[in-house]
Every structure is written in C-alpha cells, then in structure tokens.
C-alpha cells in the first residue's frame, strides 16, 4: 500500500513538473532569425562513443595485461529525452603456473542503462540502472579516457554497490543561484537486485555541490542510507579546484561509512607553462595521488583492501591527440599485509561515431 502511495506521489510530482514546460534551448525564444534556421542543424543525433585501452601493470612484481573496451551509446529522443548506456569488456590477464603466456577471463559489465527526462532546466528525472552518485570519481572520472591515473582510488567501492551502479530512479539538476554560484544536486533511490549483471543494493541518498565559476572551485557532499543489512549511513565530501592562473587540477574525496573510510587527493599539472619544447610540454601532464583507506567495523566488499592501507602514486601522461594518450604511473602501497610497488604503462584511445547525419559545422 505504501509503495503504491509512493509511486502515486512521484507520478503526480512528475506530471506537475511537466506543466512547467520550457524548451531546452530556452534562449532561442529571443533569438535572431539565423539562429532559428540553425535549429535543424543542431538537432541531436544518436552517437556511439567510448574508449579502448591496453594497460600493463606490474603489481608487486607480478605482470598483468589489461585490455579494456568501453562503449557508450546515446540516443536522444525529441527535445527532452535521452537513452544512454555504457558497457565495458575488460580482462585481467596473468601468467598461470605451468602454462605459457597470459590467461584471463573477459569480464562484461553493464555500467549504466538509463532513460533521462529533462523535465525543466533545473530538473532531470532518470530511471533505470545508473552510476551511484557518491562523490565525483564514480560518475565523472571513472572512464579510462578521463581518469588521470590508471588505477581506481582505494575508497571507490565504498557505497557504490556492486558494479558501481544502482537500479531505480534519480532526480538531478543544476542551476545558477547568482552569476557567481551554481548548485548541483542529485537524489536517488535504488532497489535491491541480485540479477546478474544488474546487481544493486537497496539504498537512498543525496549529493549536492556548490560551484564557484570565478574561483573554479566546486565543493560538495554526499549522503547515503543503506536500506538493507545493517542499515548504515555513509557520508562523503568532495572538492575540485582549478586555480584560474595555472594549468593545475586538484581533486579530492573523503568518505566515511561503517564498511570503511578514507580519502584521496589528486593534483594534476599540465606543463604548458614551461618556456621550452612548448609543443611537447603542453601535451604532457604530471599527476600524483595520495590516499588512505581505513577498515570499518563491518566487513567491506571484496574490492576493498582487507586492512588499513596507504598508497602514493605518481604518473605521467602524454596526449598525442585529444583522444589518444600514453599513460604511465608508479605507486607504492603500504599495509600490514606487506608493502609493494605498482607500475603501470598503457595507451588509451577515445572514439566517437555519429549514427546519423551529423550536420554542417
């Protein structure tokens, strides 16, 4: 009965929202005639995009080969709808005793498959399987062509559920409060699912962020309540700062939960300001990440370290083009299970294919 009531209220809310119709290109209400002529040329077309990569890792001296392919399909419908999905095929190939060569299984993951309805300029309603919005890494920085270091942060598995995704519904949006401050928010509910590969936990949560465009600073917080098992809470904060005068990005996340806690901070500096070898330097990026993980009073997921762990990483990326990148990193991990070095070398490539007429530039 309560569930039916919930759905009725949500449906009423959605219907009410749809009354506040505002075209997505709201400004076109006051546009000049030539802009109206362009509108057909700006009609969105389905696209297939994604990335491919090959990473070689020496983890404590053991070599691993990691081919990865990620495909994203985006299908816009009308002015307000978007169907989007991302799937990944990857393998962790290792040398097995007594056998030659590298062997490993191909893992398939449906990371998200969601329908988005842009109800108005300040609210988007999402339903389906979506990336769990905790902090910034899982939703924004995870793809292999975006991340500055090839490895995941140690705290990434906290709260994001199996396959880093949730199954349910989500409300999200962003708006300017003043010209100097904008707010973004997400509220979601996820249902429990043990149906492979769409597994998820029963959770509800919110995330909100404040962005100051002049300072190029975003700060925000996340909260999640687990509606199963121990019914615990998770708290997190995140920040991104790009000093306007420097080609420097500083990103950080802190998460606290009963299944584990920790933080990471990651500065990345593009060498474009150096006065020599300008072309090469502007393509080169130095990255570092400092992180710590602390075990909680409850057992975490299999992807979390079993003991308190600290890790420092340093990497160099070289961008041949905007989509093709060579990446390398060195990390040192400290834990009571033993310290180890982790070296990674790889190449990532991002592609985009329009699935229809793409318009004239």
Partner 1 sequence: MNSRLILATLCALCFGSCFFAAAQERKQEPKVVASSPNQETAAEAADSDGSAPAAANAKPTPRSIEAAERVEGEKRFRANCSRCHQSPHKYPPRVMATAIRHMRVRAMITDEDMRLILRYMSQ
In the complex, minimum distance from the CB of residue 334 to partner 1, in angstroms, rounded to a whole number: 29
CB of 281 to partner 1, least distance (A): 15
Could you tell me the smallest distance in angstroms from the CB atom of residue 148 to partner 1?
A: 9
Q: Give CA–CA dist 148/289, Å, rounded.
A: 10
CB of 203 to partner 1, least distance (A): 10
Q: Which is nearer to partner 1, 91 or 237 (CB)?
A: 237
* Min dist. Cβ of residue 41 to partner 1 (A): 5
For partner 1, the closer of residues 94 and 113 by Cβ is 113
Cβ-contact 129, 112 below 8 angstroms: yes
CB of 244 to partner 1, least distance (A): 9
In the bound state with partner 1, the residue whose beta carbon lies nearer, of 218 and 253, is: 218
Nearer Cβ to partner 1, position 74 or 155?
74
Q: 234 or 304: whose CB is closer to partner 1? A: 234
Complex with partner 1: residue 45 or 96, whichever CB lies closer: 45
């Amino acid at each position: 009965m309560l569930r039916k009531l919930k759905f009725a209220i949500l449906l009423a809310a959605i219907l009410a929202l749809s009354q506040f119709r505002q075209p997505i290109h709201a400004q076109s209400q006051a546009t000049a005639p030539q802009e109206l002529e362009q509108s057909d040329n700006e009609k969105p077309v389905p696209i297939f995009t994604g990335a491919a990569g090959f990473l070689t890792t020496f983890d404590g001296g053991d070599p691993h080969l990691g081919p990865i392919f990620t495909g994203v399909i985006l299908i816009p419908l009308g002015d307000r709808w978007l169907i989007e999905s991302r799937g990944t095929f990857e393998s962790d190939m290792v040398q097995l005793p007594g056998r030659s060569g590298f062997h490993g299984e191909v893992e398939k993951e449906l990371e998200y498959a969601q329908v988005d309805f842009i109800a108005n300029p300040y609210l988007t309603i999402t339903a389906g399987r979506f990336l769990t919005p905790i902090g910034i890494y899982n939703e924004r920085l995870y793809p292999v062509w975006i991340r500055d270091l090839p490895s995941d942060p140690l705290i990434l598995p906290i709260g994001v559920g199996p396959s880093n995704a949730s199954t349910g519904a989500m409300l999200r949006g962003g708006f300017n409060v003043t010209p100097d401050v904008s707010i973004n928010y997400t509220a979601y509910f996820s249902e429990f699912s043990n149906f492979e590969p769409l597994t998820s936990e029963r959770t509800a949560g919110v995330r909100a962020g404040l962005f100051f465009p002049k300072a190029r600073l975003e700060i925000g917080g996340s909260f999640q309540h687990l509606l199963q098992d121990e019914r615990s809470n998770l708290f997190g904060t995140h920040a991104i700062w790009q000093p306007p005068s420097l080609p420097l990005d500083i990103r950080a996340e802190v998460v606290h939960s009963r299944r584990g806690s920790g933080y990471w901070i990651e500065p990345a500096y593009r060498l474009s300001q150096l006065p020599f070898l300008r072309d090469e330097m502007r393509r080169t990026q130095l990255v570092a990440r400092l992180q710590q993980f602390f075990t909680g009073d409850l057992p975490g997921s299999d992807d979390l370290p079993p003991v308190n762990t600290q890790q420092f990483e340093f990497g160099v990326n070289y961008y041949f083009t905007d989509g093709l990148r060579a990446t390398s990193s060195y990390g040192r991990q400290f834990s009571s299970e033993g310290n180890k070095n982790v070296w990674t070398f790889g190449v990532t490539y991002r592609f985009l294919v329009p699935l229809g007429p793409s318009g004239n530039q």
